[in-house]
Amino acid sequence: MGTAESALDLVTRLTAAIAEDRVDDALALVHTDAVWRPVSRPGLTQYRGREGVRQFFADVARANGPYRVEIDAIEAVPADRVTVTSHVVVVTEFGDKAGPPIVSVFTVRDGLVLTMEAEPG
């Protein structure tokens, strides 16, 4: 995972798996020592390890109901850090409701996503 392209590819694959609700595929790309610090607090302020990240996905689904994440921009600078600007779109019977932008910074170590820290965009 020494190049920006490889970290970028890893985070791109992770976000696609999350968007398609392929939780096990997403978790396979997450480091066992992962630390997830989401902008939203659907349950905890910080989630640890793969099981913690699995819990985060469940908490977000429970808090939002049906939703999807739309990526607005993604870049890797430096090579082991990938910044993703996105927004959550909650699907309702009255139409889709787009949320505000979120900036998430993913850190890659040993070929897996180690950390994710998000803040309002």
When pLDDT is cut at 50, 70 and 90, the band that residue 33 belongs to is: very high
Q: What is the pLDDT of residues 54-72, one digit of tens each?
A: 999 899 888 888 888 899 9
Select the more confidently predicted residue: 78 or 40. Answer: 78
Residue 35 half-sphere exposure toward CB, CA atoms < 13 A: 6
Helix (H) or strand (E) holding 26: helix 23-27
Q: What percent of the chain has pLDDT over 70?
A: 96
pTM value is 0.89
Tell me what pLDDT residue 77 has: 87
* 74 beta partners: 84
Averaged pLDDT score across all residues of the chain: 91
Average pLDDT over residues 1-25: 83
pLDDT at 3: 59
Spell out the CATH class of 4-120: alpha beta
Domain edges within the chain: 4-120
Q: How far apart are CA 67 and CA 49, in angstroms?
A: 24
Residue percentage of the chain with pLDDT more than 90:
69
Residue 101's φ and ψ, nearest 5 degrees, are -65, 150
Spatial CB neighbours of 39, under 8 Å, sequence gap ≥ 6: 102, 104, 118, 119, 120
Q: Which amino acid is at 102?
A: I
Q: Is 65 left (phi over 0), alpha (psi -120 to 50) or beta?
A: left
